[in-house]
Structure 1
């Protein structure tokens, strides 16, 4: 399994099928984060995630976003160790917004 994808790879996948996104940014950084129709965005701040694992489904693949993608890479490893299927989106929401603007 690929544990990281670029923003472009994520967008190509999201264009083909609904995806499950885990937005790990803190509420004070919460900016508009819209995906293609049918996709599901679950927002749980990174600091609260270890206490919220019951909200996640081990049968789904989650694409992790933080502001710049650094902290989500670390959290992806933690979640994989807990038995979840996760993929880090390189560059986070900053790269995602730049991609949309280009």
Structure 2
């Protein structure tokens, strides 16, 4: 699975060069989130992942990097180009 440190991810995010999936739950997202990202909670991933564009690479983020790693593993198995953001949103607060 491809991974990227939060600092490198955030630089690309600020340049608006990437597509980001946030796999946290709705309440977590509303408490703190990055503008312009797509919310797709891990709990809904199985039902909604086919709506994603397989031709588009995605960076996947959660709170700490664990749920996003699970999401990346699943999405990779389905043929998607995904990269896990290490440290997740916790790294933004550091």
Q: Which runs of 5+ in 1 are unaligned?
A: none
- Structure 2 equivalent of residue 14 of structure 1: 13
Mapped partners of 2:93, 2:56: distance in 1 = 25
TM-score by length of 1: 0.81
Structure having the higher Rg: 1
Q: Would you say the 8 A contact 2:20–2:37 is kept in 1?
A: yes
**Residues 3-46 of structure 1: CA distance to partner in whole angstroms, max 9, x if unpaired?**
000011112322444210100001121223125xxxx4110110
Is 1:66 paired with 2:62?
yes
Q: Which runs of 5+ in 2 are unaligned?
A: none
4+ runs deviating over 6 angstroms: none
